[in-house]
């Protein structure tokens, strides 16, 4: 990122400033960055927040990861030599992958 050393001062009404701040907020950026991108005809990237379904999927993935980690820890602590039956975890992973594919594959 280049070091910004120059300033520009402008005059505008309160309503104009509020309108510009609202637009900048819609793009999740600062007023300064919004004005620079707009003035230089650059694309303003919008950072979208995840929807509720995506958040639920993230929680399911995290829980599945915790469950698998617990199995690994138990195996290490008790030095189990037999293979764990992972059918339940495999089924859960397959189900989760199906949900993710339905949500994001178009």
Q: Which two tokens stand for residue 6?
A: 């120059």
Cα separation, 58 vs 100, in Å, equals 10
pLDDT of 22 > 80? The answer is yes
pLDDT digits (tens, 9 = 90+) for 66-81: 888 887 787 777 776 5
Which band of pLDDT confidence, cut at 50, 70 and 90, is reported for residue 14?
Answer: very high
Q: Cβ(96)–Cβ(88) under 8 Å?
A: no
pLDDT digits (tens, 9 = 90+) for 42-65: 887 665 667 788 888 888 889 888
Q: Which two tokens stand for residue 10?
A: 């402008």
- Quote the strand ranges of the chain, DSSP E: none
Contacts 24+ apart (CB under 8 A), 84-90: 89/64
pLDDT of 88 > 80? The answer is no
pTM of the model: 0.43
Q: Cβ of 54: how many Cβ atoms within 10 Å?
A: 14
SS3 83: coil
Worst-scoring range by mean pLDDT, 11-20, 32-41, 89-98? 89-98
């Amino acid at each position: 990122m280049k070091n910004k050393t120059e300033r520009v001062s402008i005059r505008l009404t309160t309503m104009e400033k509020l309108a510009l701040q609202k637009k900048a907020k819609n793009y999740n950026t600062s007023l300064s960055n919004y004005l620079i991108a707009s003035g230089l005809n650059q694309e303003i990237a919008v950072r979208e927040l995840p929807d509720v379904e995506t958040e639920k999927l993230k929680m399911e993935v995290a829980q599945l990861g915790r469950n698998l980690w617990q199995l690994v820890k138990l195996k290490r602590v008790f030095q189990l030599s037999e293979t764990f039956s992972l059918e339940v975890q495999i089924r859960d992973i397959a189900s989760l992958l199906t949900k993710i594919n339905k949500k994001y594959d178009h």
